[in-house]
Amino acid sequence: MTRFILRRLGISALVLLGGSVLMFVLTINSGDPLQDLRESNDPNRDNLIAQRITTMGLDLPWYQRYWQWLTGAAGCLVGRCDLGTNRAGVEVSSMLENAASSTLRLVVGATLLAIVAGVFFGILTAIRQYSGFDYVVTFFAFLFFSLPVFWAAVLLKEYGAIRFNDWIADPSVSTLTTILIGLVLGFVVQAALGGDLRRRLMTGGGTALFVVVAITYFDAVDWWRRPALGLPVVALVSIGAGALMVALTSGFGNRRVVRAVGATVGLGLVSYLAFGGVLADPTWPILFGLYAVAVVIALACGWFLGGFSRRTAMWASFVTASVMAGTVVMDKALGAWAGYLQLQPRPISTIGSQTPNFDGTFWQDFLDKGTQLILPTVVLTLISLASYTRYTRASMLEVLEQDYVRTARAKGLSEREVISRHAFRNALIPLTTIVAFDFAGLIGGAVITEAVFGWKGMGELFRTGLTQVDPGPVMAFFLVTGVAAVVMNMLADISYAFLDPRIRR
């Protein structure tokens, strides 16, 4: 494996080198970097032109300029990056740091959401092949796949930002709208779960009734402007997550896993009460530190209570603890929503990644950055969701026809065990390649999304550099996307060996 990784790294380095030369040459020949100054009527125009020629090295041959960039970029391997300056004399390294942090916040969130939702719907459609639910999901998958990014972004700005901001000033949901929402969600849930007619009617009717009652209650208590979850909801979500993980991994017949997950939930709820004061206004180091403690507690519960199912118990406890941590973060953020609306009456902005000079508590600042993430994240998620859904469905259908799956069913294993233990893991093998390419592709594909939503990220860096015929920002963009592609493909190769032990040989 070590020799394989080193060989791949060497080949990838040669590909990056060749690509960087091509990108550099194409950029510097894409226009005239002095055009704006040549058309200027400034009396100091000649001095400005001479200064820019010196700053950008335009008096040097292209290969010498490229060599200067390459030697500076190679310093990143030892922690001394020197990516030069842009035509205004600003350090490209500092520009790249700000742009990369902004874009990665967007791309990582969109990728995770797309993977989770795509795998979920892909598995359901494979299990429910040729059903009405399968056809509906397939239709929307192709629709999202062919969706123009700029068009979807403009629609989201209109309905997800402008009209939502108008509605949240005095929120209310009419009775007709409430009933329609309940009926639609009831129809979707019964279609996803399936069953005979009686079971479908009970599932759909129960879901619709629950949704109607919940929305009516939210309207009555003005939950839209003063939301909260509280300990009961956190406990219910945690117990539900734990029960789901037990059902998907070992089943409730394995008491050791049940005890490990139950202990994780119990200790998590106690910790929620114990650290309530700290979580009122924490910092990022404190928040990540508490999450690390939660993970350690979960793994310890799985280790000491799992017995012969120790590995399964640790995995189930870890996922349960992570879901609990996310629920607690959501609870604290929702508790700060009312105060945030007083500072920001129109919370969803159509431009920018955060409010300039925003002054609020930790959770209010968290909401400010989080609300700006919603719309561009949704755009990128919808585009990637289609690919993950279709690839997961195709992979699952292929795996479900294999002999070892038929053997597992013939041995009397439940359908849950056949799907989760035998089919799902093997269906993930081709999906790892898609994840690797998609992550790197989203960084480059975010150029249009960032332009529409006014994000100062990698897309803005690339677009500005290309418009100004400035190779510094463009090459910084190429460096990040190229390295991301290499690293993600390497992780995909390593994941193959983890998912299928035969590949290790």
pLDDT in tens, 356-400: 788 889 999 999 988 888 888 888 888 888 888 988 999 899 988
| Residue 182, C-beta contacts closer than 8 angstroms, at least 6 positions apart | 207, 208, 209, 210, 211, 212, 215
The residue count for the chain: 505
Cβ atoms of 95 and 442 within 8 Å: the answer is no
Phi, psi of 455 (to 5 degrees): -85, 135
Phi, psi of 281 (to 5 degrees): -150, 75
Termini Cα distance of the chain: 9
pLDDT in tens, 393-433: 998 999 888 888 888 888 888 777 788 778 887 887 777 77
Given this model, what pLDDT does residue 390 score? 87
- Asked whether residue 223 carries a pLDDT value surpassing 80, the answer given is yes
How far is C-alpha 151 from the chain's CA centre? 21
Cα separation, 263 vs 246, in Å, equals: 13
* H helix or E strand, kind and range, residue 35: helix 35-38
| Residue 112, C-beta contacts closer than 8 angstroms, at least 6 positions apart | none
Q: Give residue for tokens 């019964």.
A: 190
The residue type found at 28 is: I
pTM: 0.81
Count CA atoms within 13 Å of residue 209 on its CB side: 6
Residue-wise DSSP of 44-57: THHHHHHHHHHHHT
Angstrom distances, CA of residue 290 to CA of 265, 279, 282, 310, 409: 15, 9, 10, 24, 43
The residue type found at 424 is: F
pLDDT-based confidence at residue 284 (cuts at 50, 70, 90): very high
- Asked whether residue 128 carries a pLDDT value surpassing 60, the answer given is yes
Q: Spell out a b/e string for 223-238, using b for 16 or more CB atoms within 10 Å of the CB, else e.
A: bbeebebeeeebbebb
Cα separation, 231 vs 315, in Å, equals: 25
pLDDT, average across residues 210-226: 93
Cβ atoms of 336 and 363 within 8 Å: the answer is yes
Given this model, what pLDDT does residue 145 score? 81
